[in-house]
Chains A and B, each alone.
Chain A
Amino acid sequence: MPFKDFSKGLVKANPLFVLVLGLCPALAVSTSIENAFGMGLAVIFVLVLSNLIISLLRNMIPKDVRIPCFIVIIATLVTIINITFKAYLPSLTESLGVYLPLITVNCIILGRAEAFASKNPPLRSVLDGVGEGIGFLLAMLLISFIRELLGSGGLNFTILGYKLGEFTIPVFSSMPALFFIMPTGAFLIIGLLLGLFKKTGVLR
């Protein structure tokens, strides 16, 4: 059932809300939809390719040194995305800051490499990577939607440098609840979302 490898990452094994992995970027970069989308895309790129490469090499990598091998593969992919972003999306790179190179140590990527890609054939690993990656992106978009809406009083749909549209709440935007843009708001939103999901049981 290869399709199941894809779909489980979206809801049932959502990396952020169910496995609670990859928190650093999820909290730090989710201040705006633009940042969240950029980070999500970068994570999908690295996750899919690292799953593919590790799955192809799974019988060649010695068991005892597998973690360093995985990390080198992941770090190389992160370097690629880092340089690409720097060249084509300088302003996005600026706002992602140190969190872009830190994708290397994102628990989701190493976690999927260890738990899935090192044991399964390439096609299934890629599907798993795509699913988990999109699950991460969707979760990031949800958090950043709430934070940007409340924290800056409007939404700015800019994706990879292309502006798609804008939306502001009339009176609220002149004095938005800055609280939600600050680190405090990130912890609060994710805590409340986790509680809400637990209460309603939608992720089960």
Chain B
Amino acid sequence: MNELLALFLKYALVNNFILVMFLGLCPFFGVSKRLSDAIRMGLSVTFVMVASAIITWLIANFILIPFNIEFMENVVFILVIASFVQLLEMIIRKTSIGLYRTLGIYLPLITTNCAVLGIAEINYTNGFSFLGSIASSLGGGVGFILALVIMSGLRERLEISDVPESLKGLPIAFITASLLSLSFLTFGGLRI
């Protein structure tokens, strides 16, 4: 149990996916302009991360390793993730047209979100157990939501603040992320 908690905290705080490992930066800078969108995007990414961690673990341990075709892992993982995201997109389009409109272009982009393939690769290369994979992907997802929500709050304030002309928009967002990342680095002192 402790081991699982340690994995969860490791990927939620110490190795925060966005601010320390730089995985999933596109939605971080794209969607983080409004709090409500940030939460929705974060939840859908977390869901996809956990689900694809489960699926890729099963595939890796029951198909790739028994048949000695580990070199295929990259191709197999991304295919599974892509088809899963496609399925999720269809479900969201059928159930909530409003959510579908707000997330717009970013939903198909979850496929090419480094965080999702990243967690699959991390679980695979570190050889985590089944529960360990779930803990690490859940941690990664929670860390993703955390960073996205903090950032969207800051960016809502940045919109009305007086920023030098040449730093407006993306540059100041990066500098804000830099300061956020600095505060997350202090979690490195956690003894887990």
Contacts and interface: CB of A to CB of B under 8 A. Distances in A.
B83 A187 contact: no
B181 interface: yes
Interface residues of B, number: 45
A75 B78 contact: yes
B185 interface: yes
Nearest to A82: B74
Nearest to B164: A195
Counting chain A residues whose Cβ lies within 8 A of the other chain, the interface size class is 35 or more
B142 interface: no
A107 B105 CA distance: 13
Nearest to B15: A183
Interface string B155-168: 00000000011110
A35 to B, nearest CB: 13
Interface of A: 20-21, 23-24, 27-28, 67-68, 71-72, 75-76, 78-79, 82-83, 98, 101-102, 104-107, 110, 182-188, 190-192, 194-196, 198-199
Given A71-B82, A72-B79, A105-B78, A195 B121 contact: no
B111 interface: yes
A79 B174 contact: no
Interface string B75-118: 10011001100100000000000000000000010011110111
Contacts of A76: 75
A71 B29 CA distance: 23
Given A23-B29, A191-B178, 12 more contacts: A24-B23, A27-B22, A67-B82, A71-B78, A71-B112, A105-B113, A182-B181, A184-B185, A186-B22, A188-B175, A191-B167, A191-B175
A23 B22 contact: yes
B122 interface: yes
Contacts of A98: 118, 121-122, 125
A100 to B, nearest CB: 9
